[in-house]
Structure 1
Amino acid sequence: MPVKNKFVRGSGILLPISSLPSDYGIGTFGGQAFRFIDFLKDAGQKYWQVLPIGPTSYGDSPYQSFSAFAGNPYFIDLDILTEEGLLKPGEAGSFFWGDNEDSVDYAALFQSRFAVLRTAFSRSRHADTAEYGQFCEENAYWLEDYCLYMALKFEFENKEWLLWPEDIRFRRPAAVRQYSEKLRAEMDFWKFCQFAFYRQWNRVKAYANQRGIRVIGDIPIYAAFDSADVWANSELFQLDSRRRPTKVAGVPPDLFSKEGQLWGNPLYDWEAMERGHFDWWKKRMEFSAKRYDVIRIDHFIGIVRYYAIPAGETTAVGGSWQPGPGRKLTDAINGSIGKAQVIAEDLGVVVPQVKKLLKINGYPGMKVLQFAFDGDPANQHLPMYYTSNTVVYGGTHDNDTLVEFFSRMPPKNRKYAKEYLNVKRKKDLPGAVLRAAYASVADTVIFQAQDILLLPGWARMNYPSTVGSNWRWRLKKGQLTDEISKELCSLARIYGR
């Protein structure tokens, strides 16, 4: 049955956990997270949207995670561990966390963070507590596989699981027992990290809810190949007898990319998923509904139809569209999420079946203002075409900052944007587009923190299909001022948000 998914009129800010200010190289669940929630409340906001919070791998993308369930140990706050007596005062500060307070140095993090966490683990008595026992019991369905997976990666020098010895690659029962016994101490370390992560995250979310702020989480539609999910559930993915992907995910060529996008994630075997009553997805969504108040499903159109590219291809040109599970999956999702709500990231070529599925379920789709000003008055991303059940973004993590976007746009398009937004100067466009979004009929408006701060292009979060300088931008302490808070609060009041 479809869910009642109606959103209360409101606005919010997209700020990844990694971008929170911190003395330890990356944002955490410490004091700055609580201060940001206070800022949102004072600014009249109702939502805090975060990027996926799972553990990241090579390339540092939160959309390529070792687990669909686990949390990123980088986000564990070290000051809290110090307060709990697991680190000595000043101990965390003695490590190198990078030279730039507005950019994450992932190489430095990788070298330092786990060393600090292992020190905290060595001093912890968490294993003797009822709270820890309950955590392990409630999460056993994913926790055991994930912790064994991470212990095995450590054992095999961080190689992906396809390169492990055959017996454990295929998860033969004797090998699983053998390695579980051999690597029990290492597994316990990874369990400690998850226990600490969720203990801290649950406090942050509870405080947000207490202050009237709802947390919007983001889940990638696909699992990463190098993940505990695929290794432990290989029968649910399109893999061959050697566990290698036969088809991988991506999107076809379009006006912006002649070769399309080759994501490389293994595709689900939807027939196998259906035979299992979509149990893996049900567990994933039920778990996500505990982590977040609202769940944004990335690449939602892949539920209706997905683009399958033969494994081994170097571009997405040779792929083909295949039917997805559609309503069978959304029915399973709706029965698993309780009171949580869903946002469907429906960007791209939206076929009628996608619109129909959104309507059946009551899920709001997305509009992005950076897509609106191409000079075409019929462009459906323009505010005059919005419906109430819509989530409007100035830009997403994959877009330029608004300042950079309007600076780089063709003069003809900029002229149209000025006319539409009724401004004379280029520098006034970002503020005008924010006001237009707030004034629109759309129930939900989300802007990136970088755009609230009017930052230039160096603060962009991600350049799609590239690896290198992505996912690095960080907020500096005090950057979100009382003046900005008052301006946002005024807009929220004027436009009933």
Structure 2
Amino acid sequence: MERASGILLPIFSLPGRYGIGSLGREARDFVDFLKEAGQKWWQVLPVGPVGSGNSPYASPSTFAGNPLYIDLDALGAEGLLTAAELAEAQVPSTDKVDYEALKATREPLLRKAFGRMSPEGLRAVEDFSAKNPWVREYALYCAARAYFGGAAWYDWPDQALRRHEPWVLAGWREKLAEDVAFHTCIQYWFFTQWAALKQYVNGLGIKIIGDIPIYVSLDSADVWAEREQFLLDSDGKPSQVAGVPPDYFSADGQLWGNPLYNWGYMKADGFGWWIRRVDGAIRLFDTIRIDHFRGLESYWAVPAGAETAKVGHWEKGPGQELLRVLNTWFWYADVHYIAEDLGLLTDAVHELRDQAGLPGMKVLQFAFDNPGNAYLPHNYPAHCICYTGTHDNNTLVGWYDGTGEKERDFVERYLGVRDDTEAVRKAVLRSGQGSVAELFVAQMQDYLALGAEARVNVPGVAEDNWCWRMLPGKTTLALAQEIRQLTYTFGRCAPLTETAACDKL
């Protein structure tokens, strides 16, 4: 990876007229901003349908795209939505996504568009489904879940369907044919629009970093359709669930509740499920961040029904056996990975990352307590990715304003500033840009000097997460030039010049 920098901004955080970021014009405008700012990477979070708490890390599918990200204007341009319908769907610009309002209004609107699909369009949808086998199971899962009043698959009254018995699936596909076709069409729209956006991004010399969440949701098409890949009982319920022990983010640990993998079965199968999963991810992203990388070495198993993650225990993960497969299978696609090696790490985790040749992550907000801290820039190896903070961190302004006296004193001595939030923000950005890390990534909020109100997620807290949005008009030419000058100063981009992108900012 060449020396470069990028910006972390989730799709849902993009501005726009329809209540949430989309794959349309605002996404392209942000990419133009990245180009002008000298950035070569755009990091996004998982782009699948959201699950519990509106989290992109609790999706009902590891393969599907989020219907809320579909560009409505593009559907209008195809004649699938009227000008009046688009006008009615518009909402005032705010800095928060109102998921409940979107869930109530977006699906009826998309169903109108689906009802106007031409025969040629429907044939294209069928062709898409034939080329993407996961769509059949996902669309049937969505249709059946709606039919049973939103019940999780393990609570569906039809036992054979619940168990994904092959002999019963055809009958349900016929019974729910209209809804199955609708959900298939949604995925066709999403992936068609994503491919066009990615072509635009890559055409400007920018690449996309995206996540593979380490786990999948129990109530998901993945677990329903392939129960043998997970540690479940005969009723489809786990005896142990995923989480992490107490750490920097939470004194009680984090009780995620996801089912654990049946690693023995996966190994015997040649890790085919993971191969298919990564194959789907490389159609979306240029580099894949492996979320909770340490779980591949050892994972925290918590008894189902526990109130906190404190009572869990460590079990061995697949380690190099899985990584060797993922590193060699996709030799033709030039796949790259980033290890999200945060949390409670051991020598074995570091060894696994290094044996696989993956860059790890260095988070500046974790750095300032003593000179030997591995997250301080002077301690970095070159083969790493430096972040101001991840989606689980506060913004730089919010972080510094909330630091204790001891940490604040070290921050100010290390950065050479004194009791000035704005000076600290700029100094942290300079220290990350100036580090030897191959790639430096900042949250967009940190370039916008936003406080804790712009935080994306507070781990262990279920409310008010995954909803921050950037307001329109923030990606100015002046800000782009300021970022580019900083980026150029530390050898991460070419010098500032006039470009065609300027006209769009």
TM-score bucket (shorter structure): over 0.9
Matched, 1:63 2:57: yes
Give the Cα separation in 2 of the matches to 1:302 and 1:107: 33
| 2:326 is aligned with 1:333 | yes
Letter in 1 for 2:14: L
AA partner of residue 187 (structure 2):
Q
Contact 1:278 1:329 in 2 (8 A): yes
Q: Percent identity?
A: 46
Residue 178 of structure 2 corresponds to which residue in structure 1?
Answer: 185
| 1:463 and 2:458 are equivalent in the alignment | yes
Residue of 439, 448, 451 corresponding to 2:446: 451
Alpha-carbon offset, residue 378 of structure 1 = 1.1
Sort the Cα spacing of 1:255 and 1:430 in 2 relative to 1 into closer, same or farther, 3 A. closer
- Counterpart in 2 of 1:3? none
- Whole-Å Cα distance in 2 between the matches of residues 57 and 78 of structure 1? 22
C-alpha change, 1:256 and 1:198, in structure 2 (3 Å) is: closer
Q: What is the aligned partner in structure 1 of residue 6 from structure 2?
A: 12
Unmatched segments (≥5 aa) in structure 1: 1-6
- One-letter amino acid of the counterpart of residue 196, structure 1: W
Cα drift, residue 186 of structure 1: 0.3
Instruction: Supply the distance in 1 between the matched residues of 2:421 and 2:15 (Cα, whole angstroms).
Output: 30
Q: What's the offset of the Cα at 1:170? A: 0.8
Cα distance between partner residues in 2 of 1:329 and 1:130? 38
Q: What is the rounded CA distance, in whole Å, between the counterparts of 1:124 and 1:271 in structure 2? A: 45
**What corresponds to 1:355 in structure 2?**
350
- Give, in whole Å, the separation in 2 of the partners of 1:358 and 1:444: 17
User: Does 436-445 or 346-355 show the bigger shift?
Assistant: 346-355
Of 294, 301, 309 in structure 2, the residue corresponding to residue 301 of structure 1 is: 294
What residue is the counterpart of 1:394 in the other structure?
Answer: 388
Q: Is the 8 A contact 2:14 2:21 kept in 1?
A: yes
- Give distance in 2, aligned partners of 1:127 and 1:163: 38
Which residue of structure 2 lines up, in the alignment, with residue 146 of structure 1?
138
Could you give the per-residue CA deviations for residues 183-202 of structure 1, whole angstroms, max 9, x where no partner exists?
Answer: 01100000100000000011
Of residues 154, 159, 169 in structure 1, which corresponds to 2:151?
159
In structure 2, what is the Cα distance between the partners aligned to 1:129 and 1:62? 29
Aligned partner letter, 2:151? K
Alignment partners' CA distance in 2, 1:408 and 1:137: 52
Show the counterpart of 2:317.
324
Q: Report the Cα distance in structure 2 between the residues aligned to 1:192 and 1:255, rounded to whole angstroms.
A: 42
Task: Give yes or no for contact 1:286–1:336 (8 Å, CA) kept in 2.
Answer: no
Deviation of 1:300 (Å): 0.5
CA distance in 2, matches of 1:305, 1:491: 39
> With structure 2 as the length reference, what TM-score do the two structures score?
0.94
Query: Aligned in 2, Cα 1:282/1:126: closer, same or farther, shift over 3 Å?
Result: farther
Distance 1:204 1:454, change over 3 A: same
- Preserved contact between residue 127 and residue 133 of structure 1 (Cα < 8 Å): no
Deviation per CA, 1:157-213, whole angstroms, max 9, x where unpaired? 111111102221111223212211100110000010000000001111111100000
Q: Does 1:78 align with 2:72?
A: yes
Query: Aligned residue for 2:489?
Result: 494
Match among 31, 34, 42 for residue 25 of structure 2: 31
Determine the C-alpha separation between the residues in 1 that align with 2:460 and 2:352.
29
Paired residue for 1:436, among 426, 431, 438?
Answer: 431
RMSD: 1.3
Distance 1:288 1:37, change over 3 A: same
Please, which moves more after superposition, 171-180 or 450-459?
A: 171-180
Alpha-carbon offset, residue 125 of structure 1: 1.8
- CA distance 1:126–1:107, shift in 2 (3 Å): farther
- The DSSP-based 3-state class of the residue aligned with 1:70 is coil
SS of equivalent to 1:317: helix
Partner of 2:307: 314
Amino acid at match of 2:147: E
Among residues 193, 200, 207, which one is paired with 1:214 in the alignment?
Answer: 207
Instruction: Please report how far the alpha carbon of residue 92 of structure 1 lies from its aligned counterpart in structure 2 after TM superposition.
Output: 2.1
Aligned to 2:262: 269
**AA partner of residue 386 (structure 2):** V
**Does structure 2 conserve the Cα–Cα contact (< 8 Å) formed by 1:404 and 1:456?**
yes
Q: 1:227-238 to 2 correspondence within 5 Å?
A: 227-238=220-231
CA distance in 2, matches of 1:65, 1:160: 13
User: Does 1:476 pair with 2:471?
Assistant: yes
Residues 84 and 297 (structure 1), Cα distance of their counterparts in 2 relative to 1, 3 Å cut: same
Q: Which amino acid aligns with 1:400?
A: N
| 4+ long deviations beyond 6 Å | none
1:22 matches 2:16: yes
Residue of structure 2 in register with 1:369 after alignment:
364
Query: Deviation at 1:57?
Result: 2.2
Alpha-carbon offset, residue 129 of structure 1 = 5.9
Secondary structure at 2:311 match in 1: coil
1:409 maps to which of 403, 410, 419: 403
- Conserved 8 A contact 1:292-1:340: no
Report deviation, 1:255.
6.1
**SS at 1:335's partner residue?**
helix
The change in CA–CA distance for 1:211 and 1:274 in structure 2 (over 3 A counts) is: same
Q: Separation in 2 of the partners of 1:358 and 1:371?
A: 20
Instruction: Look up the equivalent residue of 1:348 and give its one-letter code.
Output: G
* 2:280 alignment partner in structure 1: 287
Instruction: Please give the per-residue CA displacement for 1:199-238, whole angstroms capped at 9, x wherever unaligned.
Output: 0011111111000000001110101111000011101101
3-state secondary structure, aligned to 1:291: coil
CA contact (8 A) 2:396 2:446 kept: yes
Partner Cα distance (2:86, 2:321) in 1? 49
